Amino acid sequence: MQWKKSYLVAAGILGVVVLYFIVRTLFSGGESHEAPKGKTGAGRPAPSVQVAVVPEQTRTYYVTMRGRTESARTVIVRSETAGVVAQTPVAEGSFVRKGAVLCRLSVDARQASLDQARASLRSRELQQQASVRLAEKGFRSQTQVLQDRANLDNASAQVRQAEIALEQINIRAPFAGVFDRREAEVGTYLSPGQACGTMIELSPILIVGDVPETEAARLKVGEPATARLVSGETLAGHVRFVARDADPQTRTYHVEVTAPNPSMTARSGLSAELKVAAGTGPAHLVPVSAIVLDADGRQGVRYLAVGNKVAFAPITTLEETPQGVWVRGLSGAVQVITVGQSYVSEGQTVRVAGK
């Protein structure tokens, strides 16, 4: 029996429809077009993440820099007169009080000059007293009395000069500190201006560093600061100087912090981590593991925005602690993604594990 052409066309269309449904059932597993709740398009489930609610807190901001300790003063103590070194009473590296003798020169004829000046002074005193008595009786003029008074003053000045010359044989410490280095030994001849040794002042002690130009404006003289030395010791002090002129090579500004060092255990030249207070402001304590990099290489955290959508916020690290990292750049209480943050992207909808 011969089929009509219209029947053949209808049968072909029916066969195509049946084949379509068979293929769709095989590849879709019988699922409907509508994605179930909690799943994304194409039938994939929404990524699961864990979050931690991080509140906003007010915290002191710090500027951190590498630094080193320095003596507050370093002075080369020099001789004021000429002579041969007779004694060196102080050992190198020892603490001395202000006025202690570091080097003592030979007395030579200085004591004799002082004795002579004192004898001359006594003679002038007697002469001046006799002149006054004679003037009272009318046997001496007032001009002669004044001349004798001038001679007495001159003799007194010569005594003072001789006393200073004798005292100058003692080269003394100009301040309390450490006699760091001796330049002259017993028997060395010193001319005026030649060095006996070097004194350094370690209490208070300086901690110096260089701050980037982006942070210099935040530092103020008088602000508190702490320094953790390479030896493990911590010093607390305050800023005494912030440079106004940048180093032309590094474009950094010199900073000086002064700190008490009564026991003088902190030595000059030690490396230190210097932290200077730079005001207060909002901060968040986030886990170290929550910090990621975005596509542009910026450091930040991913958090949940409205509708469980992933958002990214760039941050500035303020301080690292055993509990986490204090950062700046977030606002208010934030749901920071702590698990799964490396496998989601901005704008993606996620579900929170356990909810």
Do 260 and 312 share a domain, yes or no? no
Please check whether residue 77 lies inside any domain of the structure: no
Please check whether residue 211 lies inside any domain of the structure: yes
What does the alpha-carbon distance between residue 285 and residue 185 come to, in Å, rounded to a whole number? 60
Please check whether residue 191 lies inside any domain of the structure: no
Please check whether residue 142 lies inside any domain of the structure: yes
Identify the domain boundary among 224, 245, 279: 279
> Residue 151 maps to which CATH number?
1.10.287
Burial class (CB in 10 A: 0-12, 13-18, 19+), 55: exposed
- The total number of structural domains in the chain stands at 4
Identify the domain boundary among 248, 279, 310: 279
> Residue 254 maps to which CATH number?
2.40.30.170
The predicted pLDDT at position 25 comes to 62
Which residues on adjacent β-strands are paired with residue 105?
85
The predicted pLDDT at position 352 comes to 87
Structural domain containing residue 272: 64-71+200-279
Which residues on adjacent β-strands are paired with residue 287?
none
Contact 275, 225 (CB under 8 A): yes
Identify the domain boundary among 168, 192, 218: 168
The predicted pLDDT at position 272 comes to 95
The predicted pLDDT at position 355 comes to 63
Please check whether residue 100 lies inside any domain of the structure: no
Do 205 and 257 share a domain, yes or no? yes
Do 160 and 129 share a domain, yes or no? yes
- Distance between start and end Cα atoms, the chain: 68
What does the alpha-carbon distance between residue 49 and residue 151 come to, in Å, rounded to a whole number? 102
What does the alpha-carbon distance between residue 63 and residue 256 come to, in Å, rounded to a whole number? 13
Do 49 and 26 share a domain, yes or no? no
Residue type at position 279: G
The predicted pLDDT at position 1 comes to 43
Do 265 and 302 share a domain, yes or no? no
The predicted pLDDT at position 271 comes to 95
Do 146 and 208 share a domain, yes or no? no
> Residue 342 maps to which CATH number?
2.40.420.20
Tens-of-pLDDT digits for all 355 residues of the chain? 445 556 665 666 776 666 766 756 655 544 444 444 445 554 567 788 899 999 999 988 888 899 999 999 999 999 999 999 999 999 998 999 999 999 999 998 889 999 999 999 999 999 888 888 888 888 888 888 899 889 999 999 999 999 999 999 999 999 999 999 999 999 999 999 999 999 999 989 999 999 998 888 889 999 999 999 998 899 999 999 999 999 999 999 999 999 999 888 899 999 999 999 888 889 999 999 999 998 888 999 999 998 889 999 999 888 888 899 999 899 999 999 999 888 888 888 988 886 6
